[in-house]
Amino acid sequence: MKAVIYDFFHRGDDTFYYRLLSLLEKKIPFQIIELSRIRNDVYLIKTKQYWIILKGFTSYQKLKVQVAFTRALKQEGFTQTYQFYEFDEEPIVIDNKVYGLIEYLPPHKDSFSYHSKRNRREALQLLEHYYSVTERLVEIYKYILPTFHLMKKFEHRLEEYRMNIPIIEQYVKKDIVKEIMEWADYSFGSIKNKIDYLDTNPNVILHGDVAHHNFLRVRNNELYLIDFDLISIGPRIADYLQFANRILPDIGWSIQDLQSMQGYADLFKDKWFLMALIYPTDILREWNRIIRNKDVDNAYLLEQVQLLTTNQFHKRKKFYQKLQQLVGT
């Protein structure tokens, strides 16, 4: 029998590799020719018949929810995602992780990003298709998936950032840190006063992480939506807020460009959305993360967060000021 090629990051992974390979050879009905690690708990398995993604989950329940959910998406007409393979009724369990086998989607030679107008437009179209399908699945999943609490998330992120200010001020000018705090306080205070607004919006199954890396352009040029680790029940405006914050640096913080995009023209008529858009969620999130993970001594990561904070600060400021004018405050 030909030896299996493997590519792990550290030689210390040898023992884990052999245990994993031994288990996979019992679970997969094809000869494995290569096993490589993509990132933590995600591996690529090459067999003579298929390439397969192996992904770890913290519980069997979480794996089964995603297996059922991706199957339901396809049954309801959303075909632009992967499927799970189930070759064996017994789960793949190793080191307290439960692993699922996912269809490998051959990527396009040009990786997806939010830099191009075409990509941003296609991503929004795909999300809207996803919501039109998941709106029909809410009744089935409302007792299975968590409810997304936007206000709790904003409040927790804001208070964590407030506590981190003494550390942040060691790396960013105090007046910038103060202004960021003022934007966050203004935004959160404004939307908190209209807290019932979210209850007036129909629920969908939110994707929860609309970063560019969760869109995959496959070899035939179709765009796919992947990674459903953060799905929850809530109004689509939560994902739209996140999407806007993801793409604003790529469109130069242009109100006109954002407003002209599918789905946003109507949202711009909504004061709640405009006030929520002033919340500097990306800056708060990344500073909280780097401090929580004790990574401020990592020069590369620190520089990335500093650049995020200061690089387009004046464009961001003008954008927020225009939003305040539209709100009328």
CATH number of the domain at 258, please: 3.90.1200.10
Domain count within the chain = 2
Q: Is the pLDDT of residue 11 over 50?
A: no
Quote the mean pLDDT of the chain.
93
Within 8 A by CB and 6+ apart from 201, the residues are 235, 236, 237
Q: Is the pLDDT of residue 8 over 60?
A: no
Rounded CA-CA distance 137/142 in Å is 8
Residues 96 and 28 occupy one common structural domain: yes
Q: Print the domain residue range for 217.
A: 117-327
Beta strands in the chain (DSSP E): 5-7, 32-39, 42-47, 51-57, 84-85, 92-94, 97-103, 203-206, 215-217, 223-225, 232-235
Residues 80 and 124 occupy one common structural domain: no
Q: 3-state class of 81 per DSSP?
A: coil
Tokens (6 digits) for 246 = 């993801």
pLDDT tens, 194-238?
A: 878 888 899 999 999 999 999 999 999 999 999 999 999 999 999
DSSP state for residue 109 in the 8-state scheme: S
Residues 45 and 163 occupy one common structural domain: no
CA distances from 86 to 37, 40, 219 (A): 21, 22, 25
Rounded CA-CA distance 325/329 in Å is 6
Residues 254 and 319 occupy one common structural domain: yes
pLDDT tens, 126-156?
A: 999 999 999 999 999 999 999 999 999 999 9
> Closest Cα partner for 248 from 258, 261, 256?
258
pLDDT tens, 226-275?
A: 999 999 999 999 999 999 999 999 999 999 999 999 899 999 999 999 99
Residues 86 and 128 occupy one common structural domain: no
> Closest Cα partner for 142 from 81, 200, 201, 203?
203
Residues 139 and 31 occupy one common structural domain: no
Long-range contacts of 1-10 (CB under 8 A, 24+ apart): 2/33, 4/32, 4/33, 4/34, 4/35, 5/33, 5/34, 5/35, 5/36, 6/34, 6/35, 6/36, 7/34, 7/35, 7/36, 7/37, 8/36, 8/37, 9/37
Domain-terminating residue out of 72, 103, 134: 103
Q: State the pTM of this model.
A: 0.91
Largest CA distance in the chain: 73
Percent helix, percent strand, percent coil in the chain, to nearest 5: 50, 15, 30
Would you say residue 10 lies in a domain? yes
Q: Is the pLDDT of residue 69 over 80?
A: yes
Residues 196 and 85 occupy one common structural domain: no
Query: What is the number of other CB atoms lying within 10 angstroms of the CB of residue 50?
Result: 13
Residues 42 and 121 occupy one common structural domain: no
Residues 98 and 126 occupy one common structural domain: no
Residues 287 and 192 occupy one common structural domain: yes
Burial call 97-121: b when 16+ CB within 10 Å, e when fewer: ebbbbbeebeeeeeebebeeeebbe
Residues 150 and 292 occupy one common structural domain: yes
Q: 3-state class of 91 per DSSP?
A: coil
Residues 82 and 137 occupy one common structural domain: no
Would you say residue 110 lies in a domain? no
| Single-letter amino acid, residue 134 | T
